[in-house]
Structure 1
């Protein structure tokens, strides 16, 4: 897919930042070093610094645009272009040297994009000398994502996309706990459903266009560019209509229920 858009992602900064703050509130570690996997545009580094002002933070992201934005906005932090799988394997490096383990390894709304992320969790936890904490969306069967898959399965979009939209399902808290629970560790796993009040025109479409729907939108844009078609605006109009019906605007805004799953694995001392 094409690169991520930092500007689109930051449209709902407050709503997207709150789960990370809730995750950090349950981390009992006192880290001197932190690795943030999927640091995005660097907007959440301030929360890490607020909680642990003396810690050295390294942000990792696979998006060149996100890393460029983070480096420009936060030049005092090291941001590395790289893949979570390489970090888990111990092979991630940049011109400034390898990215190794840390006291705290943390990840916010990233692992759901990593193929086979469940299999990587033990290795990621081993990179942490004190704690490994992550949060992933648990809303892949919400109306927003069901409708995205349903509209994309219709013609002419299905032929243009070439494959069904992937259902990037994450595990339930109990499954993650089972993967990480072992001697020497204490695992805290839970879920929270946030009810966001969104405003403006087609807010749910704008929300998913910056995240879950982005690969589909990029694929349709590429098809339009290569074949001279106009599928992207047609798709957005059709999906937008479906989303407005599923998420009706109320006098105070549009409600988006968003389930998230949290895990904090702490080494016992």
Structure 2
């Protein structure tokens, strides 16, 4: 996939809030010396890590060159690394692996997460936030449309991202950690502007779908998506749209 940093940052404040909530659950007595931000994107969360732990050596890892170019456009002490998280290896033992809204794009969490925990230093922390909205209307409608004619051939096999049930993460991580904090939060987001949910989704979930369509087909696809979304997420009298969005979090200490 190729990402559009400007589109992703259109809702920067709403996308940043879960990262702040995850960061807040890492104990104040934690003083990591080596930090990695997995799936750092445009680097706004990575810079928050640097603000909190200015003495730490921090690396931001992402698989998209455009996002990393945006991240590196602001001078800082952070190192940026282009790499696929699925096969990434630190080459050292991080004290904190932080990942905000990235790991849901990767399959095989029952393999991936033990590998990440295994790279941590003794008493190191894996802190993760992932969207958990895949059963909600905006995502269900998108999957349904992709499976219908005339888009089925181009979009039927597209993976939009997924996660395991919370209990599965508890069972997977508990044997590997001496402390595990696992929770879900639903953010009742109030979005404004024209087609705000589509614009939100174009920054993330819609990326692999739209990249497989030409401009004409994409226009028809978005028109059909817009019509079905309006039935379940109508704009309010003030023009804003309420878009609840669930997210899963865990902080696992090795």
Instruction: Return the TM-score normalized by structure 2.
Output: 0.92
Shift of 1:30: 1.5
Structure 2 SS opposite 1:68: helix
Shift of 1:77: 1.4
Paired with 1:244 and 1:206, the residues of 2 have a C-alpha distance of 14
Paired with 2:176 and 2:220, the residues of 1 have a C-alpha distance of 54
- The runs of at least 4 consecutive aligned structure 1 residues that moved more than 2 Å come to 73-76, 163-169
Aligned residues: 249
Alignment of 1:1-269 (within 5 A): 1=1, 3-28=2-27, 29-87=30-88, 90=89, 99-129=91-121, 130-161=124-155, 163-166=156-159, 168-182=161-175, 185-221=178-214, 230-252=216-238, 253-267=240-254
Shift of 1:174: 2.2
Shift of 1:42: 0.6
- 1:79-124: per-residue Cα shift (whole Å, max 9, x none)? 100011222xx3x6xxxxxx53311011011111112133210110
Whether the 8 Å CA contact 1:38–1:60 is kept in 2: the answer is yes
Paired with 2:112 and 2:252, the residues of 1 have a C-alpha distance of 14
53 and 34 in structure 1: CA distance in 2 versus 1, 3 angstrom threshold: same
Shift of 1:26: 0.9
Paired with 2:146 and 2:45, the residues of 1 have a C-alpha distance of 32
- Higher strand proportion, which one? 1
RMSD of equivalent CA atoms: 1.6
- 1:26-53: per-residue Cα shift (whole Å, max 9, x none)? 1123111100000001111222123222
Instruction: Return the TM-score normalized by structure 1.
Output: 0.87
Structure 2 gap segments, 5+ residues each? none
Shift of 1:183: 6.1
Whether the 8 Å CA contact 2:62–2:83 is kept in 1: the answer is yes
Whether the 8 Å CA contact 1:173–1:263 is kept in 2: the answer is no
Whether the 8 Å CA contact 1:133–1:265 is kept in 2: the answer is yes
- 1:18-77: per-residue Cα shift (whole Å, max 9, x none)? 001101111123111100000001111222123222222100000111111111124431
7 and 167 in structure 1: CA distance in 2 versus 1, 3 angstrom threshold: closer
Structure 1 gap segments, 5+ residues each? 93-98, 225-229
- 1:108-148: per-residue Cα shift (whole Å, max 9, x none)? 11111112133210110122222111011110011111111
Paired with 2:133 and 2:253, the residues of 1 have a C-alpha distance of 26
Whether the 8 Å CA contact 2:105–2:162 is kept in 1: the answer is no
